[in-house]
Amino acid sequence: MNRITKASDGRLIVPDQPTIPYITGDGVGKEITPSMMEIVDTAIRRAYGTKRQIKWKEVLAGENAFKQTGSWLPAETLEKFEYYTVGIKGPLTTPIGEGIRSLNVALRQTLDLYVCLRPIRWYQGIITPILAPEKVNMTVFRENTEDIYAGIEWEEGTPEAQKFCKFLQDEMGVSNIRFPETSSFGVKPVSREGTERLVRAACQYAIENRLPSVTLVHKGNIMKYTEGGFRRWGCELAQREFGDAIASKKLIIKDCIADAFLQNTLLCPEEYSVIATLNLNGDYISDQLAAMVGGIGIAPGANINYNSGHAIFEATHGTAPSLAGKNVANPCSIILSAVMMLEYIEWQEAADLITRALERCFEDSRATFDLARFMPSGVSRSTTEFTHDVIERINN
């Protein structure tokens, strides 16, 4: 059978020739996704000969899906990701004015992919806006299913907003809505369960990867029960389930207010390792940290449910419409996401070959224009030229 599954002891069972569903993606997706697949196939061949191979299976989403099926996210696509457990995707256009808010959010919610995982490290040769990017080495665990991303909100002036306002004022005794007639309202659910599974995953990751600390980032000083709850429930969980590691100093649990954290990451990034945070904070934090090491063109990501094993690895940037079709887009985000995928299925040798090949490209000042333009002797390579640069370095 060519399907990745999860055993009862929690380990993934990965056949030598697993089927991996992929979404090509819109815009630059059509250029970066084939680049990633070529590089991954080369690395697997180099690491394992003919013993191992990925059987890629295209599934539809986004503009492609809409043109072919009339649906932006066909049910079959979700079924395939569910069935095959592990998949990867390029960027998708967010349909404007359609019933679906965001295809990415729909994918995450349907499979309950509760961790958005974003590792952030610097590669020698990449020019960044900070003086010492080598000090940045963090892994962000962003909660993916709760917070204001639950999409519970009502627009100013609608009967729903008025009803909600009246409920707050008449039944909940709320008297401090500054402009009740012209307010929109949003609800921010944050739960103990949601917090615990996220913080558990972050602590396990830190211990498995011998990383020194987990920092809970929150705004509990202002939002006492939601963000403050996240801090309290998270610290309690860590003490309860990882008390031995904490007592033996293998793991340090810290917490930091989100605004101070953003400042601290610029002033003393070396003090942080694994970060556990809520959905909206995680959105801001991931992009700032990515910018500190070279920008979203090179930032990988994954959405994971560590209980079911389901995982979708993804380019973190959008469809970059102004670059699409020009063979100039940087494929590194989806390539590094594929590296994360290979690590997730424990094909570490292939993952390492790709990482090393990318490092050597940057050391040789070879990159796509978005990175090469800042390198003192940068050579701007097209997407296909850069793909060949990486493949050459995997093979030699």
Residues that bind ligand NAD (CB under 6 A): 28, 32, 91-94, 104, 296-297, 314, 317-323, 329-330, 333, 370
Q: CA 151: distance to chain centroid?
A: 19
Q: Which entry of 16, 55, 224, 259 is annotated as an active-site residue?
A: 259
Q: Which is nearer to ligand NAD, 180 or 318 (CB)?
A: 318
Q: Which entry of 84, 149, 205, 344 is annotated as an active-site residue?
A: 149
Q: Which is nearer to ligand NAD, 257 or 291 (CB)?
A: 291
Q: What is the closest distance, in whole angstroms, from the C-beta atom of residue 388 to ligand NAD in the complex?
A: 17
Q: What is the closest distance, in whole angstroms, from the C-beta atom of residue 147 to ligand NAD in the complex?
A: 18
Q: Which is nearer to ligand NAD, 234 or 331 (CB)?
A: 331
Say how far apart CA 200 and CA 361 lie, in whole Å: 36
Concatenated DSSP letters of 7-73 = -TTS-EE--SS-EEEEE--STTHHHHHHHHHHHHHHHHHHHHTTS---EEEE---THHHHHHHS-SS
Return phi, psi of residue 347, to 5°.
-100, 65
Q: Which is nearer to ligand NAD, 273 or 330 (CB)?
A: 330
Q: What is the closest distance, in whole angstroms, from the C-beta atom of residue 33 to ligand NAD in the complex?
A: 11
Q: Residue 303: which of 395, 226, 201, 229 has the closest Cα?
A: 201
CB crowding 35-53: b at 16 or more within 10 Å, else e: bbbbbbebbbbbbeeeebe
Query: Per the structure block, which two tokens stand in for 219?
Result: 């705004």
Query: Per the structure block, which two tokens stand in for 197?
Result: 């599974």
Using alpha carbons only, what angle is made at residue 347 by residues 343 and 350, rounded to the nearest 5 degrees?
A: 95
Which position's Cβ is nearest ligand NAD?
A: 318
Q: What is the closest distance, in whole angstroms, from the C-beta atom of residue 220 to ligand NAD in the complex?
A: 28
Q: Which entry of 80, 89, 188, 219 is annotated as an active-site residue?
A: 219
**What residue ranges in 210-336 does DSSP mark as E strands?**
213-218, 252-257, 274-277, 300-304, 311-315
Return phi, psi of residue 121, to 5°.
-140, 165
Q: Is 149 annotated in the active site?
A: yes
Q: Is 259 annotated in the active site?
A: yes
Q: Which is nearer to ligand NAD, 333 or 355 (CB)?
A: 333
Q: Is 250 annotated in the active site?
A: no
Q: Is 83 annotated in the active site?
A: no
Say how far apart CA 135 and CA 138 lie, in whole Å: 9
**CA atoms within 13 Å, Cβ hemisphere of 370:** 17
Q: What is the closest distance, in whole angstroms, from the C-beta atom of residue 260 to ligand NAD in the complex?
A: 27
Query: Per the structure block, which two tokens stand in for 318?
Result: 């959008």
Q: Which is nearer to ligand NAD, 94 or 110 (CB)?
A: 94
Q: What is the closest distance, in whole angstroms, from the C-beta atom of residue 265 to ligand NAD in the complex?
A: 21
Cite the active site residues.
149, 219, 259, 283
